[in-house]
Amino acid sequence: MRKIAISLSKGGVGKSTVSVSIAHGLALKKHRVLLVDTDDQGQDAFLLGVKPPKGLAEVLSDDLPAKDAIFLARPNLWILAGGKALSAAKRDIGRKDYGAEQTLADALKPIEDQFDFIIIDTSPAWDTLTINTLFYASEVLTPVSLEALTINSLAEFVNRLESVKKFNKSLDHAYILPTFHDGRVKKSAEILNQLKKHFSDKLCEPIKYSVRISESAGFGQTIFEYAPNSPGAKDYQKVIERILNDGKKK
Ligand SMILES: Nc1ncnc2c1ncn2[C@@H]1O[C@H](COP(=O)(O)OP(=O)(O)O)[C@@H](O)[C@H]1O
Ligand SMILES: [Mg+2]
């Protein structure tokens, strides 16, 4: 079982889109996938066009077993939904005397073996749930939009990850995934080159800027449903193949 956090402390870089697309792509390849949304915006359920009655907030605040909160969104794809109620859950975690960083791990441990992949979407903030996610995950995939400000956030995020690694020694910052790539934009190419120099083998082939991807969000469909033959779907397919190939080495 692989636990992949999709994380960067910055909004609008494509974290939720990447989380949902990768989770669904893996499920389409017959892997059993749990998508966990730790963001209080709760966008993953929206992107999948589902309204789960319960979610992560009930698990963390009301001690609802995770098995009773997961929701089958597609064949082989379950979601543990995020949403507004997570704000209160974060406060509850903050009040714990000890073990606060392990709260998410404790909640998911009882069900984790049912899945081949647990994909965890994070909020744009370096908050309790992001830290909990990084204490629990075995791998991190960081989506980056090819803009100077994002590269700034990436440098800071890498530093923070180092501090988490003191506690979660097996945590591997495995993938940097450029999103919104536009080959016509000169700056985009420059930043991509910088990333190549700095992250070499961690750098994945970019996801292109795609109108189809942004449209699919409004229909509650993933790119594999909305436009399965589009360049965006093909880009995502490549990332999924890479993740699966790496799994064979492990
Ligand atoms: N490759 C892409 N091309 C065009 N639009 C995209 C692409 N990826 C994501 N988007 C859109 O960009 C916006 C931000 O993406 P989102 O996944 O919500 O980012 P985050 O979770 O990091 O805040 C959304 O409206 C989404 O539909
Ligand atoms: Mg998001």
CA of 22 to the centre of ligand 1 (A): 14
How far apart, in whole angstroms, are the C-alpha atoms of residue 13 and residue 8?
8
Residue whose CA is at the smallest distance from ligand 1 atom 25: 214
Per-residue pLDDT of the chain (250 residues; tens, 9 = 90+): 999 999 999 999 999 999 999 999 999 999 999 999 999 999 999 999 999 999 999 999 988 999 999 999 999 999 999 999 999 999 999 999 999 999 999 999 999 999 999 999 999 999 999 999 999 999 999 999 998 888 889 999 999 999 999 999 999 999 999 999 998 888 888 999 999 999 999 999 999 999 999 999 999 999 999 999 999 999 999 999 999 999 887 6
Of residues 214, 202, 211, 206, the one with CA closest to residue 235: 206
Q: Which domains, ranges and CATH numbers included, belong to the chain?
A: 2-249 (3.40.50.300)
Q: Which ligand is nearest to the CA of 150?
A: 1
Confidence (pLDDT) at 186: 87
- The DSSP code sequence of the chain is -EEEEE--SSTTSSHHHHHHHHHHHHHHTT--EEEEE--TT-HHHHHHT---SSBHHHHHHS---GGGT-EEEETTEEEEB--TTHHHHHHHHHT-SS-GGGHHHHHHHHHHTT-SEEEEE--SS--HHHHHHHHH-SEEEEEEESSHHHHHHHHHHHHHHHHHHTTSTT-EEEEEEEESB-TT-HHHHHHHHHHHHHHGGGBPPPPBP-HHHHHHHHTT--HHHH-TTSHHHHHHHHHHHHHHHHHHH-
Which-ligand-closest: CA of 12?
1
Residue 49: both structure tokens together: 């066009």
CA of 23 to the centre of ligand 1 (A): 15
d(CA 11, ligand 1 centre) in Å: 9
In sequence order, the 6+-apart residues with CB closer than 8 A to the CB of 25 are 222, 224, 236, 237, 239, 240
Mutate which of 46, 121, 126, 214 for ligand 1 pocket (most atoms within 8 A of beta carbon): 214
Among 152, 147, 157, which residue's Cα sits nearest to residue 178? 147
Binding pocket residue ranges, ligand 1, CB within 6 Å: 11-17, 43, 124, 179-180, 207, 209-210, 213-214, 217, 232
